[in-house]
Every structure is written in C-alpha cells, then in structure tokens.
Amino acid sequence: MPHQFQMPKKHVDRMIDKLGREHVQETFETNKTALVVVDMQNYFIDEGQMSGCPMAQTIVDNINKIAKTVRETQGIVIWIQNMAPSDTSQSWKTAHERYKEEKGKIRIDSMKPGEWPFELWPSLDVQKVDHQIVKRRYSAFIHGSSDIELILKDNGIENILVCGVATNVCCESTARDAMMLNYRTLMVSDGCATLTDEEHANSLITFYNHFGDVQNTEELCARLYNSNRLNTKS
C-alpha cells in the first residue's frame, strides 16, 4: 500500500487563505501536460539493491493509471532513468564523497546503462509513444543533467505531474526546479515513495506550501478527464 498521506488541515487552510482555494491546479490544458516518472528503476525499487526502496513497488499501479490517463487526454509521458557518472573526481565529487569507497563503486556500477539495476521496473506500462531520458543529477532540470527541456518545449508542455522515487530526493528536486523554470508543477501524493512516512509527508508539505500542487491519483485523474472533456467542447 502506498504512503497514507493527507495534507494536514492547517496547511490546506493556509493555502485557502493565500490562494482562495485548496488547489492551484483544479483544471488543466491536458494537451500541454506531461507526466514525469522519476527513477523507477530496479536499483531504487528492489529490496536487494543498495538503494532499494520497496515502498516504490506499491505505487506502480497508480503510476500506470496516471500514465494511461495522460495519454488518453493528449498529454505525454516521460520516464527518467538516473545514471551515476563514473568520473567522480570531476563530474560530481560532492555526491560521491558521501559514500564509502566500496558503496560508491556499487552506485556507479549499478546505475550504468545496460545493467539490470539501471533498467525500469518491469511492471511499469512503458509505451512506444512515451519518452525515455537519462539524467545525471537528482534533478532532471539542473544544467547538464538531461535533455528533458527539449522534449517539453517540442511538445508545448506547461504542466508537469511528478511521480516516482524518492519523494524527498529526486522527485522533489525535479519538481522544485520545474516550478523555478515556470512549469506549473504537481507532485502525486500516492504516486511517489520514499523510505519513511515522515520523510514523504515533510517533502509534500513543503512543496505544497511553497512550490506547487499536491493531489492523489484518484482526484488527479478525475480532473484530467474532466478538463479534457471541457477542452474538447470549447
């Protein structure tokens, strides 16, 4: 079962006082919307891996449901795979100095294209029409990390929905940077996972208060379908 999260009332009340409603994104231009699925790789999901977060296995069905909804409402789906640069002395020394030498080597060897830990979790519904990209930092948007912005601009994307693992690391980093680059950004509360309920909640609360919206799978999909119907009629 995914993290059982509900935005605390005091934060909802604060948003209503500031904005006049609970959610920034009550409607969508669905053809300008992208689902960005962050790092749902074997390395981050399988319990036998060094950075495995088994909770991420519980969000697969929700991610697949949202991906189907986004495709059916004329949006796009982007699957991100994280790669660890091997040149640790130059490319990202500050990350690798946080690991013992043997653990740093496991990280590099595991997140290498062609290796099983690098591959996407097998029960994810990845379609030929979707996009797959590689990133090299926690955030997909920081300079030099990936080519995600080329895909978004080519497809006229303005709204980004973030799912994946870990909520408070790569998902939040990517979502925050997306908002800073002027994308309307939403994190899916039961479409993200991390090691503990506490870390998950803290991340979503901060994001909701300062960066973007937070919705669950059911309400998000309903809003996407409803918005698409309204857009089609207009």
Q: Which domains does the chain have, with CATH numbers?
A: 9-233 (3.40.50.850)
42 torsion bin: left (phi>0), alpha (psi -120 to 50), beta (else) = alpha
pLDDT of residue 77 exceeding 80: yes
pLDDT tier, 92 (very low <50, low <70, confident <90, very high otherwise): low
pTM confidence score: 0.93
Reported as a pLDDT band with limits 50, 70 and 90, residue 96 is: low
CB 124 within 8 A of CB 60: yes
Q: Residues 45, 57: contact at Cβ < 8 Å?
A: yes
Place of tokens 């030929």: 128
Percentage of the chain beyond pLDDT 70 is: 93
pLDDT at 27: 96
d(CA 162, CA 35): 6
pLDDT value at position 102?
76
